[in-house]
Amino acid sequence: MDAELQKLVEAGKLSPAGAEQLEQLKPGAFCLHKSWGFGQVADWNLLLNQILIDFKKKKAHPMQLQYAAENLTPIPAHHFLAQKASDLPALKHELKENPTAVMRNILESLGGKATQAQISSWLLGEIFSEPEFKRWWDSTKKLLKKEGHFLIPTKRSDPIELRSAPISRADELLTFFNQARQPREQAAALDQIIKLHQEFQVPERQLQPLVDAIEETARRNQRLNPAMAFELVIGRDDLLQLHPRLRSSNPDLTLERLILEEEPRLAHILPKIPSAKERRILHAFPAALGERWTGRALQLMQGSNARLVSSMPKVFGEAGKLDELRAALDRSLREHSATSEMLFWLCKNRADWPELINPELLSAILSACERDQHNESNSRSTRLRDLLLSDRLLIPDMFAGAELGLARDAMRRLMLSPVFDELTKRSLMARIIKLYPDLQSLVSGEQAEEKSEALVVSWSSLQKRKIELEELVNKKIPENSKEIGVARSYGDLRENFEFKAAKEMQAVLMRRKSELERDLHRSRGTAFASPDTSQVSIGTVVTLRETT
């Protein structure tokens, strides 16, 4: 022990344990403080019973000897922070030339494990900028996975651990799968195994138990978690294809069989499945459902799954059924039964379907937006409305070569739509008028008529019309929207009487709503008090008598 420290111990100013700790904190040594972080011992001042520490934000910070002994942790010269403070250029070179050795040092300095956030806090600033660290970390992580001494977790928030002995990447992947507690974790581990399948040197021995486990988990989850069952079966099929020597213990458990058994629930299952696997399922429709697959696919397109709507046409194309899809789309446009997602997809891909881009498309878009508005599904129609407003070539494409009468009908339909405010309506109508200048009078003429003609009615009649409009908006139209939704779920719209009847009633209700709104706008209430009886006018009652 240092002689001066021995004297302090004998004088009762320092405990023996404190003196032993201070032996490791001589000037030039490195240390850690729980609040101020990394520091270096600058000097001792034993006369004042002090030790001076250079912290990053506190240079020459004095501490009482006993307090320093109890609160400072000495760190060896090979500690990462000590190397960073003593020879930063050499450390930067090592990070570039041997990143796995530096990572081993970092983990050893942090007790054998550390999260990515902890690692980045030591490397950002003096060593790396944010973009530089990201590039370095992406490349280093690949090396760590191959090296075998490092346990790389699937979750970013979990710590990276340093192993005492190397483990092959294949064994590590199998361990992840076997330790997974939830089917979702098993599916994620399976995806990694498929991605790195070349790591398995003896796949028939290493992966056969995994195939059996996958099939058992898929079987157990089919009823309560069918989406996960689909994912596991697809992963199993990928493994069997990559390694032909593997064998299925349940050959009846196929993707086609799952589709057939879960057909009634497909509309709810498919949105929960990753897009790549969803496409695999859709491409298996013809084999699973036979000749009726097209009808089922068209029904699914009527849902609100945008991803499915964009994927399904590729399936029709590969099966040589584009004409059938085109006919179904044309029918849905004429019947105004196309959903917002279908119409959004059609507008975005209109170059591939030019025969469907006509004035009828605008009417179908307005109907879909109105339907979503009444069903309180504005979030679904927002994309479609935004597209109609932002894509300034969409309306010109719809009316290219169309007759003047169709353009006039479309403008009238747009005027009566409750979806857009007046300013937006004028903006959309201006695009049609640009193509058909003669229709300018349709707007200005109706405005003049509204200003010049007033409808004088009794207060009771005015109140009666207001009550009728309120009942239409708050009761009859929402009920009709629900009836349309229920009728659509019955299946084939070509032979669906309930759907056609509900759509016809929708047209009647919307027309009556427009009439009431127009009449109420023009109406002027009066009590017909003190009428001028010298002539026949509003408020007078005329009695006719036969003079002969």
Beta bridge pairs of residue 31? 39, 74
pLDDT for 303 beyond 80: no
Give Cα 146 to chain centroid, integer Å.
Answer: 33
Question: What's the pLDDT band for 375 if we cut at 50, 70, 90?
Answer: low
DSSP three-state, residue 42: strand
DSSP three-state, residue 74: strand
Give Cα 165 to chain centroid, integer Å.
Answer: 41
Higher pLDDT, 444 or 245: 245
Do 141 and 163 meet the contact criterion of CB atoms below 8 Å apart?
no
Share of the chain above pLDDT 70, in %: 95
At 106-142, the pLDDT tens digits run 999 999 999 999 999 999 988 999 999 999 999 998 8
Residue 324 corresponds to which tokens in the numbers above?
């059938």
DSSP three-state, residue 40: strand
Beta bridge pairs of residue 150? 162
Share of the chain above pLDDT 90, in %: 47
Residue 39 φ/ψ region, left for φ over 0, alpha for ψ in the -120 to 50 degree band, beta for the rest:
beta
User: What is the pLDDT, as a whole number, of residue 449?
Assistant: 45
Beta bridge pairs of residue 457? 525
Q: State whether CATH 1.10.287.180 applies to domain 455-526.
A: yes
Choose the weakest-confidence range: 119-133, 373-387, 512-526. 373-387
Q: Give the closest residue to 198 by CA, choosing from 207, 189, 188.
A: 207
Mean pLDDT, all residues of the chain: 87
Q: From CA 45, how far away is CA 62, in angstroms rounded?
A: 9
Residue 378 corresponds to which tokens in the numbers above?
């504005």
Q: From CA 437, how far away is CA 297, in angstroms rounded?
A: 43
Choose the weakest-confidence range: 367-376, 443-452, 508-517, 519-528. 443-452
Q: Which residue is listed with tokens 């498919």?
A: 270
Q: CB-based contacts of 93: which residues, under 8 Å, 6+ apart?
A: none
At 162-215, the pLDDT tens digits run 988 878 888 888 888 888 888 888 898 999 899 989 889 898 899 999 999 999
pLDDT for 237 beyond 60: yes
Evaluate the CA torsion angle 243, 245, 250, 251 in order and state its sign.
Answer: positive
Q: How many CB atoms lie within 10 A of CB 270?
A: 22
Q: How many CA atoms lie within 13 A of 168 on its CB side?
A: 12
Average pLDDT over residues 62-88: 91
Q: How many CB atoms lie within 10 A of CB 77?
A: 10
pLDDT for 84 beyond 80: yes
User: What is the pLDDT, as a whole number, of residue 377?
Assistant: 55
pLDDT for 529 beyond 80: no
Q: From CA 270, how far away is CA 234, in angstroms rounded?
A: 13
CA angle, residues 137, 143, 146, in degrees to nearest 5: 145
Do 412 and 447 meet the contact criterion of CB atoms below 8 Å apart?
no
Q: From CA 24, how far away is CA 69, in angstroms rounded?
A: 10
Average pLDDT over residues 363-376: 82
Q: How many CB atoms lie within 10 A of CB 355?
A: 8
CATH number assigned to the domain covering 3-75: 2.30.30
Average pLDDT over residues 514-521: 83
Q: Which residue is listed with tokens 């092959």?
A: 168
Higher pLDDT, 146 or 150: 150
Q: How far apart, in Å, do the first and last CA atoms of the chain sit?
A: 145
Do 363 and 417 meet the contact criterion of CB atoms below 8 Å apart?
no
Q: Give the closest residue to 510 by CA, choosing from 398, 412, 431, 380.
A: 412
Pairing state of beta strands 37-45 and 455-458?
A: unpaired
pLDDT for 295 beyond 60: yes
Do 268 and 226 meet the contact criterion of CB atoms below 8 Å apart?
no
User: What is the pLDDT, as a whole number, of residue 448?
Assistant: 44
Residue 21 corresponds to which tokens in the numbers above?
């700790």
Give Cα 517 to chain centroid, integer Å.
Answer: 40
Residue 441 corresponds to which tokens in the numbers above?
């009078």
Q: How many CA atoms lie within 13 A of 15 on its CB side?
A: 8
pLDDT for 156 beyond 90: no
At 423-458, the pLDDT tens digits run 888 899 999 999 999 888 776 655 444 444 677 888
At 482-513, the pLDDT tens digits run 888 888 777 666 667 787 788 888 888 888 88
User: What is the pLDDT, as a whole number, of residue 548?
Assistant: 67
Residue 310 corresponds to which tokens in the numbers above?
């964009």
Do 237 and 244 meet the contact criterion of CB atoms below 8 Å apart?
no
At 13-61, the pLDDT tens digits run 788 888 888 888 889 999 999 888 899 999 988 778 888 999 988 888 9
Residue 161: phi, psi to the nearest 5? -115, 145
Q: From CA 517, how far away is CA 455, in angstroms rounded?
A: 13
